[in-house]
Amino acid sequence: MDWKTMMYNERFPKSNKYSPEFVAKNQMGPNSIWLMEWLTEKIEIKENMKVLDLGCGCAMSSIFLAKEFGAMVYATDLWIDVSENQKRIVEFGLEDKIIPIKAEAHALPFAKNFFDVIVAVDSYGYFGTDDLYLSYITSFLKSEGIIAAVLPGLMQDFDNFKVPKHLLKPQKNGNVFWEPDCFTFHTKDWWLSHWMKTTLVEVETCDTLEDGYKHWAIQEKALELAGFNIFPSVEETLLNDAGQYIGFARIIATKNKAKTEESMPHAWQPEFSAVCESLRNERDSRKKV
């Protein structure tokens, strides 16, 4: 099979409309358009809804959101140059629908209660494992807005917390699958507990992608054949694992109504220290009396 045929995937019909060259050239890991298609199968995105695509990489998933749903997308990323993303956005004639933004996920330049939907594909794991992150990110979400993420993750926990040997074994190309980015891989139930314990959101969906490893592996093969891969292929380990441990988790939640009127700044925001100072001053003036 040639690489372009491998990039055609019956499971993701909307994604098949995008040229294999465009998709292959702009990948930064697993196929972001396939994964965004999977994520949005369970989210109602209406025209002109304000959507934050957090950690959008080369903005392919943002282009998908604008083209398929007519959303207003804030394509936000740290590593990828905004002008490079703007070029891709213009190529698709979507400059009125997508705003590329370079920002760090803990210092976002948005107003509180601004977005209808916040999505993250293969990026949330880089910052969202922090227990304090959900309260920060949902502050930018409207009451009853949606927060959703797809994460490469574990299909089950490791026996006795030990990384299985086949994930640590060097492949024929010398690459070892289980490298530092994988340390953020978790099961869907880990994510469910991580979000539910905050009481900030109601989780609507928390599941895994059927045959996720197969979709990931076939793209690895295609990118390598086409010479578009930026990292050595991990196809060999994915096929050896056969979905026993490695795949994709999806989590979708609604922001609770009761949590929208928070007046306190988040602990990471500079305003937080001003609030602390005023509380200390108040306490000190009370003690003087």
Ligand X SMILES: C[S@@+](CC[C@H](N)C(=O)[O-])C[C@H]1O[C@@H](n2cnc3c(N)ncnc32)[C@H](O)[C@@H]1O
Question: With CB under 6 A as the contact rule, which of the stretches 73-81, 139-147, 202-210, 245-253 interacts with ligand X?
Answer: 73-81
Indicate whether 153 belongs to the interface with ligand X (CB under 6 A): no
Residue from 7, 65, 80, 141 in contact with ligand X (CB under 6 A): 80
Question: With CB under 6 A as the contact rule, which of the stretches 56-64, 66-74, 129-137, 210-218 interacts with ligand X?
Answer: 56-64
Indicate whether 62 belongs to the interface with ligand X (CB under 6 A): no
| Distance, CA of 26 to CA of 21 (rounded, Å) | 9
What are the two backbone dihedrals, phi and then psi, of residue 228, each rounded to the nearest 5 degrees?
A: -100, -5
| Distance, CA of 42 to CA of 172 (rounded, Å) | 38
| Distance, CA of 26 to CA of 278 (rounded, Å) | 48
Rank residues 61 and 219 by Cβ distance to ligand X and give the closer one: 61
Helix (H, G, I), strand (E, B) or coil at 95: coil
Indicate whether 234 belongs to the interface with ligand X (CB under 6 A): no
CA distances from 280 to 129, 221, 276, 288 (A): 31, 59, 6, 12
Task: Establish how many alpha carbons lie within 13 A of residue 95's alpha carbon, considering only the half-sphere containing its beta carbon.
Answer: 9
Indicate whether 127 belongs to the interface with ligand X (CB under 6 A): yes
| Distance, CA of 93 to CA of 46 (rounded, Å) | 19
Burial class (CB in 10 A: 0-12, 13-18, 19+), 249: buried
Q: Which residue is nearest to ligand X (CB)?
A: 57
Q: How far is the CB of 237 from ligand X (least distance, A)?
A: 17
Q: How far is the CB of 80 from ligand X (least distance, A)?
A: 5
Residue from 18, 75, 77, 229 in contact with ligand X (CB under 6 A): 77
Residues 21-40 contacting ligand X, CB under 6 A: 27-29, 32
Rank residues 126 and 275 by Cβ distance to ligand X and give the closer one: 126
What are the two backbone dihedrals, phi and then psi, of residue 73, each rounded to the nearest 5 degrees?
A: -110, 130
Q: Which amino acid is at 108?
A: L
Rank residues 83 and 285 by Cβ distance to ligand X and give the closer one: 83
- Mark residues 104-123: x for contact with ligand X by CB under 6 A, - for none: xx---------------xxx
| Distance, CA of 253 to CA of 148 (rounded, Å) | 6
Question: With CB under 6 A as the contact rule, which of the stretches 13-21, 37-45, 54-62, 230-238 interacts with ligand X?
Answer: 54-62
Rank residues 121 and 141 by Cβ distance to ligand X and give the closer one: 121
- Interface positions with ligand X (CB under 6 A): 27-29, 32, 55-57, 61, 77-80, 104-105, 121-123, 126-127
